[in-house]
Amino acid sequence: MTSLTILQSAVKPKRVVLVDLGYPYGKKVYMSGSVVAVAAQLMAAGHQVDIVDFNIDNPNDERVRSLFIQADIIGASVMGSPGIPRAMQFISDIPWKIPNTLMLLGGQVISRFSPEQFGLVFGARVNQATKENVGEIFGHLPSAYSISYQAVWENMGDRRLREYLSYEFALVLSQGCIFDCDFCSADKDQPEFFRDLSVFRADLKYLLLKARKFGLTGVECYASSLDFFQTPKVVFLYLEAMAEVQKETCIKLSARCLTCMNTFLAASKQRSDFSELVNRSGLWCLGFGVDGPTKEDWDEQNKFQNRMADIDPCFDLCQQMGVRAEVLTVMGYPHHTAKRLLKTAQHLSSFVRRWSNTVLRPYIARTVLPGNKGWKTQTAVVEKLVGNPQQFYNLDICGLANSTTHPNRWQRWLVNVAYLYIILRYAPFARCATSPLLPQGGTGRFAKFAKIVNRRMPFDR
């Protein structure tokens, strides 16, 4: 374990402003786990760090302008493909006003760009954050999984922290997934690694004590794990810590996560008190990557961990435990026929009919996303996106099928009909949690209309 004691660095301490560019479609208060983690790393290395969050802050506020003017380095994080046009706008609006400040752009999506692609999209005024240049600029940084984040929260102040804790926030627990699904663009095909348990526990207790000070009775969070139960003996320790901290602080923690059916079932067999532990921990919602009604769908996407035999026992167990189960389904690939779309809709309907605690979360397939298999193989599509970066908006998985993702007009129409049918049939009865977005990556009146509609859609969790 590494404390937040200042580490020795070969570089001069710098004034750093980290920017959360915000939700692409409007205001969405959310404490980003990645931004907080990077801030903690930099502070541990002796740098002065402030966070600007455009979900909360106005770019023209005096505090924001002052921080930008005084900064040696401004770093912005891009979390998803729809954030790329927003990052371009930020670069256009801010850097030229501060000519002596080094601009860095990073985040999961940015790491998927080659240097050439990055230069074509963002130009020469901003630098791509890589392991090599980050080390040269900031010196040695400790692992974000070994240090406390408390200094970051203390630095942002109680008013800002209270606002974050009043909404769902990211609970950084682990990262990494051993599976390698083709459509997924996350860090995968690698072992899972966890935060230091004692540091995780202390940080969580700090947040819950702050929540109690603020007069809150509970907090909500989303665990960072890509497959929560893939390393069961280790994750049980974290569930115990979550339960203990709630008991010590008298603050209710409500957590949700993603997991696979097979790892969830395997974990449930390793402890006789599995259900009781999950309930004590505050874990109330499990999102399962079902992703299709047949083995054919799973084989096509290299999703070999899924088995039809796991569906019934998995969702039966969730209902017995009293936890919410969410059916995450990537549907409507560009080659899917009307028959396959109908079968998908029927399959999703069966979950609603059979399990009363189950909610659907359908998303339309994106065969090309920065980092997934399509990004590496579909060169022409990638070149089209890089050449017209506004179309990265159209890769949002909540969005309707569009000409960027589904070139065939007839098939695009079929996919959208199936997608909207599922949402319109079950969302009014709180059995579907997905809200569709319009493709706003074009030009003209429709793009303007799409932006208005998207700003009024409920946020996808």
Position 439 scores a pLDDT of: 93
Residues in the chain: 461
Please state the domain extents for the chain: 15-138, 168-331, 338-461
Tell me the one-letter amino acid at 23.
Y
**β partners of residue 74:** 17, 103
The DSSP-derived string for 108-177 is: HHHHTS-HHHHHHHH-SSSEE--HHHHHHHH-----TTTS--HHHHHHH-HHHHHHHHTS-EEE--EE--
Q: How far is CA 26 from the centre of its chain?
A: 17
Position 185 scores a pLDDT of: 87
**β partners of residue 195:** none
**Nearest Cα to 152, choosing from 23, 20, 35?**
35
- Alpha-carbon distance of 82 to 71, in angstroms, equals 27
Model pTM score: 0.93
Rounded (5°) CA angle 141-147-148: 130
- Alpha-carbon distance of 23 to 25, in angstroms, equals 6
Per-residue pLDDT of the chain (461 residues; tens, 9 = 90+): 333 344 444 679 999 999 999 999 988 899 999 999 999 999 999 999 999 999 999 888 899 999 999 999 999 989 889 999 999 999 888 755 677 789 999 998 999 999 999 999 998 889 999 888 898 999 999 999 999 999 999 999 999 999 999 999 999 999 999 998 988 888 888 889 999 999 999 999 999 999 999 999 999 999 999 999 999 999 999 999 999 999 999 999 999 999 999 999 999 999 999 999 999 999 999 999 999 888 889 999 999 999 999 999 999 999 999 999 999 999 999 999 999 999 999 999 999 999 999 999 999 999 999 999 999 999 999 999 999 999 999 999 999 999 999 999 999 999 999 999 999 999 999 999 999 999 998 888 999 999 999 999 998 87
**Nearest Cα to 243, choosing from 283, 216, 203?**
283
Please tell me the CATH superfamily of domain 168-331, with its number: Aldolase class I (3.20.20.70)
Residue 153 Ramachandran class (φ > 0 left, ψ -120 to 50 alpha, else beta): alpha
Domain 15-138 adopts which CATH fold?
A: Rossmann fold (3.40.50)
